[in-house]
Amino acid sequence: MSIVTVQLGQCGNQIGHELFSVLCSDIRGTHGLCSKKENESYQESCKERFFSEEQSGVPAARAVLVDMEPKVISQTLSMAARSGLWKYNSHSHFCQKQGSGNNWANGYCVHGPRHKEAIMELVQREAEKCDLLGGFVTIMSMAGGTGSGLGAFVTQCLRDAFPTSFLLNHVIWPYGTGEVIVQNYNSVLTLSHLYHSADALLVHENDVIHKICAQLMNIKQISFRDVNQVIAHQLGSVFQPTHTAGGGSGYSRNPLGDLLEPLVPHPEFRMLGLRNIPQMAESSLAFSSFSWPGLIKHLRQILIANAHMEEGIDWQVRPPQPGSSIPSTNKPLHFNTSIANLVVLRGKDVHSVDLGSFQDPSLYTSWLNPQDAFTAWKTPRAFNKYEKSAALVSNSQFLLKPLDSIVGKAWNMFASKAYLHQYTKFGIQEEDFLDCFTTLEQVISSYTNL
């Protein structure tokens, strides 16, 4: 089954490019650490999922590139073509001359309707090239104008045009200390609109990835390229082919469905966080070795203590003791309650791993059976040179604090009516803002009361 990626805005296009690079270099690598047959089956599956065969022999990514200004797209296309290993289809991009100016209203109300036909035509074409369409993944940032505004509009159109396909939005949470002054407004507007159209939102926070680059990867001068590569690695570890829980010898035929069905049992809870261990600089990989029990233990504690990486985890946080009937409001502070979790394991000796610690009912809410709340995928084929790696996709309170903080700041600005004239100029009125605030307050309160 194939996944079509829609890359929106500068951020979306830059990350999309890194993602396809990682996927391509992973399948070409000889670090599979598994049998040849297994490796070939993995490569076939990945190629079918993300690339289409072209006459020239170079695989073309199943992607549509959208941006309102031409510079980033031309840079992305040329970088991909230069690699020689893969490329983008030369017709699958759409750009205009003048950007959205960090203005959500401009992206959503002006550019969206104006270019809807052209963009949906491109998506339709990519979708038709797939033998079996598995769904859509959109990549965008929340802070800018195109990724956020036009992205929200395109998501809605995708939902209308393909009502039965899976739709996953990969959103980038901006740095807390400001990349764009109106980022809080843009984020609030984006999140509330996406909540209505998408199946789930997979979130990466710039602050977190920046810390990973600084502390784990030991990069001194972090550039956006470094940040994007870490994000691409984390995405790849989830999206590459895996054996699903149902067992069987083949790779999963329905990647998005298998991901979304267990993780989003209730439509009110759609925010997914992603954690991946281990992460380290490539130069240190050769000197490190890992054990599954160690990795699993760390991963579990990352989940419980709401940590972002394997350093600096708060080991004091523990789940509440079972047997005592404590109502959820008395749960110890900082403990991260989950609705559902998915763990993806890749590498040597994967079948011997014991994941019982993740099935502990105290990790989860009371209204879901732990058997249903936890899913595991195990694949013997290693990913991207890591001998053993584990990824966690979690529908839990990971994003509660960042969400609360963004809504708070946006409200603060809204109360003084700052910058509103920029949005009303393009058609977003104060009532629209209020609706969005209401939606998000509802989400925050649902997650708080888990």
Residue type, 125: R
Interatomic CA distance for residues 35 and 33, integer angstroms: 7
> How would you label 249-267 residue by residue, b for 16+ Cβ within 10 Å and e otherwise?
eebbbebbbbbbebbbbee
Task: Tell me which stretch binds another protein (CB under 8 A): 118-126, 170-178, 309-317, 396-404.
Answer: 170-178
| Contact status: 71 vs another protein (CB under 8 A) | yes
Task: Tell me which stretch binds another protein (CB under 8 A): 28-36, 121-129, 179-187, 266-274.
Answer: 179-187
One residue of 38, 58, 101, 261 binding another protein per CB under 8 A: 101
Instruction: Find the shortest distance in angstroms from Cβ 101 to another protein.
Output: 3
Cβ atoms of 199 and 428 within 8 Å: the answer is no
Could you tell me whether strands 338-347 and 388-396 are parallel, antiparallel, or unpaired per DSSP bridges? antiparallel
For residue 252, the 8-state DSSP code is: P
One residue of 24, 123, 180, 191 binding another protein per CB under 8 A: 180
| Contact status: 210 vs another protein (CB under 8 A) | yes
In terms of CB distance, is 37 or 421 closer to another protein? 421
| Contact status: 169 vs another protein (CB under 8 A) | no
Instruction: Find the shortest distance in angstroms from Cβ 365 to another protein.
Output: 33
In terms of CB distance, is 53 or 430 closer to another protein? 430
* Tokens 């009371």, residue located: 366
- CB under 8 Å to 425, separation ≥6 — which residues? 105
Instruction: Find the shortest distance in angstroms from Cβ 24 to another protein.
Output: 22
Return the half-sphere exposure (C-beta side, CA atoms, 13 A cut-off) of residue 1.
20
In terms of CB distance, is 333 or 415 closer to another protein? 415
| Contact status: 248 vs another protein (CB under 8 A) | no
Residue in 113, 181, 119, 94 with CA at minimum distance from that of residue 144 = 181
In terms of CB distance, is 68 or 303 closer to another protein? 68
One residue of 38, 41, 70, 265 binding another protein per CB under 8 A: 70
In terms of CB distance, is 36 or 97 closer to another protein? 97
* Tokens 């708060």, residue located: 314
Could you tell me whether strands 93-95 and 87-88 are parallel, antiparallel, or unpaired per DSSP bridges? unpaired
Cβ atoms of 319 and 338 within 8 Å: the answer is no
Contacts with another protein, 402-421, as mask; x by CB under 8 A: -------x--xx-xxxxx-x
| Contact status: 75 vs another protein (CB under 8 A) | yes
In terms of CB distance, is 201 or 213 closer to another protein? 213
Residue in 300, 334, 303 with CA at minimum distance from that of residue 317 = 334
Instruction: Find the shortest distance in angstroms from Cβ 77 to another protein.
Output: 12
Q: Where are the alpha helices (DSSP H) in 166-305?
A: 183-197, 206-211, 224-239, 255-263, 282-285, 292-305
Binding-site ranges for another protein (CB under 8 A)? 10, 14, 69-72, 74-75, 97-103, 145, 175-182, 210, 213-214, 220-225, 227, 409, 412-413, 415-419, 421-422
